[in-house]
Structure 1
Amino acid sequence: MMGTRKRSVITEETALNQKGRRSRGTSKPHERRLYSWDEIPEWQKDNEHILHGYVKETQSWRELIRSLFYLHNESVNIYTHLIPAVSILLIMLFATHHVINEYPTTSAIDYIMIDLFFLGCATCLSMSSIFHAIKCHSLPIATFGNKLDYLGIVVLISTSMISILYYGFHDNSYLFYPFSALTSMFGFICGYMSLKDKFRSREWRPYRAAMFVIFGLSAVFPIVAGSFVYGVDETWERVQLKWIIWEGVLYIFGAFLYGIRIPERFAPGVFDIWGHSHQLFHVLVVAAALCHLRGLLGAYAGTHAKLSQ
């Protein structure tokens, strides 16, 4: 009987060991495991000062979705844009009338122009969030996501400029339509260059960057034109230039931090999960969008205050 019990114990132990081996063999290789800079494939390497916290190339949509629910070095990038994007969409769909103070002269075009900015902002932030969420899947998917990210930037710049131009030149179609057309043209060119693989090559990078810079600086042209037509002080009020300047400062400062990798370049590994330059850039982009919204609502209020007199 002792021999029978011994064989029984050995059999149970063997079964448990086999079960453990099967369990280990079917465990998810990427689930909640983070990798270092040296462990990720070359195509995933972008910032050498971020040393840990990577989700290694998954080649799996299931593992990608799982990664949304644990903390890694892209989590803050994802949610600093996803949460504002969803909030903006909800406001646009259900609460725009709470954002706009109505005047006797308020019309549907006002809601269209302000919702245009909301839509552009939500598009940019959501595309950025999608890119950071899917970039761990594979190189082709990451490349596609990066195209969406750039396209979202184009949409935000275009809708921001057209919406503020409407109120700056609400009484002058000779200024509003040409400058809106110029903005749309630059937006189309930058969007095309962002999506076409030819223009995403290394040799075209300086030209692509130059087009985005020109696109952003093209906002100066209508301000100069407005200053000649209305004078500097009135143009300042019409387009709420104080808030537009703050918007530009925040965008440029964020891009500066991102471009030179501050603060992580001074302490590699310290800001892997929290506080690195790309995350700061995301926060500053949201702050800049809020500045534009403040300026847009101020321009709307100023326009209708005059029309109601």
Structure 2
Amino acid sequence: MMEETKLPDSTLPNFQQSEYEKPPSPLTCQQNSTLNSHKGLITYDDLPSWHQDNPSIFTSYRPITHSLRDSLKTFFTLHNETFNIHTHSIPFFTCLFLTGLIFYIFSIYFPESPLVDRFIFSIFFLSTMICMGFSMGYHTLMNHSKGVAEIWLKLDFVGIVLAILGDFVTGIYVAFYCEWKFQVGYWIMIITLTSTTLILLLHPHFQGLRWRTFRVCIFIGTGCSAFAPIIHAIVYFGWNQVVNGTGMPWYLGEGGFLVLGAVVYSW
């Protein structure tokens, strides 16, 4: 019988020490699930397809609740919608406070101010609060269910359009304070534009991610129509009067933020 030849141990491959045979660590295998199971959060891949909006955000999603109470309970918790919720909730409650304060100042220091002036201010603050409130509601309740998320997304669009409308109404009123014909003309213009914008935004055909850029362009186009009355006022009254009497730099700054927000949204 032939004697069995044994190779030295040093010549054998050290499979036990091979990195390919090492079992992966629990942290390596379960890192995402562990991090996202904190406080009941889930990952992008765990979401239903209708809720997968941004593949660049991987973690910290709230699960679908099908419960108004459970969705509202996330209002003060930490997740990837926390920033969106409170960048709208803080302006909402701030605007609510300022509305009361300004009308108190009106009653104390300007008791003889025309009723129409107060009404115009009311339009501005009311449209702003509606915009902030609808956006706050959308980001809070978007994890309720598909139907509720779609309803609140449309309300979010409505709020943005109403904010543009309210801003136009007050700006035109101040810019053409004694020129009611110009006021009415531009009010008709912006009401027509915002109504058309709403019809397109709420139409079922233009829903979904594939139409996001189209919706952004509509918002920007409606907002940029403000240049028509601005240019008109500069030509009619002169640069100095428009800048000093209407607060035009603030409107231009607001328009810049509108465009910036629309571009960020389109990403």
Q: TM-score, normalised by structure 1?
A: 0.67
Aligned residue in 2 for 1:307? none
Aligned residue in 2 for 1:158? 165
Identity value in percent: 27
Instruction: Answer yes or no: is 1:126 the counterpart of 2:133.
Output: yes
Instruction: Answer yes or no: is 1:224 the counterpart of 2:231.
Output: yes
For each residue in 1:82-141, what CA deviation from the matched residue of structure 2 results, as whole angstroms up to 9, or x when unmatched? 23212322432x322345584586222221111211101100000000000110011111
Of 197, 200, 203, the residue aligned with 2:207 is 200
CA distance in 2, matches of 1:202, 1:258: 11
- Runs of 4+ aligned structure 1 residues displaced above 6 Å come to none
CA distance in 2, matches of 1:204, 1:40: 21
Q: Is the Cα–Cα contact under 8 Å of residues 193 and 200 in structure 1 kept in the other structure?
A: no
Instruction: Answer yes or no: is 1:239 the counterpart of 2:262.
Output: no
For each residue in 1:281-303, what CA deviation from the matched residue of structure 2 results, as whole angstroms up to 9, or x when unmatched? xxxxxxxxxxxxxxxxxxxxxxx
SS of corresponding position for 1:130: helix
Aligned residue in 2 for 1:173? 180
CA distance in 1, matches of 2:154, 2:87: 19
Counterpart AA for 2:102? T
Give the greater-gyration-radius structure (CA): 2
Check 1:247–1:209 CA distance in 2 against 1; reply closer, same or farther (3 A cut): closer
Q: Which moved more, 1:133-142 or 1:59-68?
A: 59-68
SS of corresponding position for 2:173: helix
Q: Is the Cα–Cα contact under 8 Å of residues 168 and 235 in structure 1 kept in the other structure?
A: yes
Check 1:52–1:208 CA distance in 2 against 1; reply closer, same or farther (3 A cut): closer
SS of corresponding position for 1:32: helix
Q: How many residues align?
A: 230
Aligned residue in 2 for 1:266? none
Q: CA RMSD in A?
A: 2.4
Of 119, 131, 144, the residue aligned with 1:112 is 119
CA distance in 2, matches of 1:152, 1:118: 12
Instruction: Answer yes or no: is 1:50 the counterpart of 2:57.
Output: yes
Q: TM-score, normalised by structure 2?
A: 0.77
Please state how far the C-alpha of 1:39 moved relative to its aligned partner: 1.4
Q: Give ranges in structure 2 of 5+ residues lacking alignment.
A: 1-36
CA distance in 1, matches of 2:207, 2:237: 41
Q: Give ranges in structure 1 of 5+ residues lacking alignment.
A: 1-29, 261-309
Check 1:210–1:251 CA distance in 2 against 1; reply closer, same or farther (3 A cut): closer
Aligned residue in 2 for 1:252? 259
Of 47, 55, 60, the residue aligned with 1:40 is 47
CA distance in 1, matches of 2:217, 2:179: 31
CA distance in 1, matches of 2:84, 2:214: 27
Of 48, 71, 83, the residue aligned with 1:76 is 83
Instruction: Answer yes or no: is 1:187 the counterpart of 2:181.
Output: no
Aligned residue in 1 for 2:102? 96
Check 1:47–1:205 CA distance in 2 against 1; reply closer, same or farther (3 A cut): closer
Please state how far the C-alpha of 1:38 moved relative to its aligned partner: 1.6
Please state how far the C-alpha of 1:203 moved relative to its aligned partner: 7.0
Instruction: Answer yes or no: is 1:63 the counterpart of 2:101.
Output: no
Aligned residue in 2 for 1:140? 147
CA distance in 1, matches of 2:202, 2:109: 40
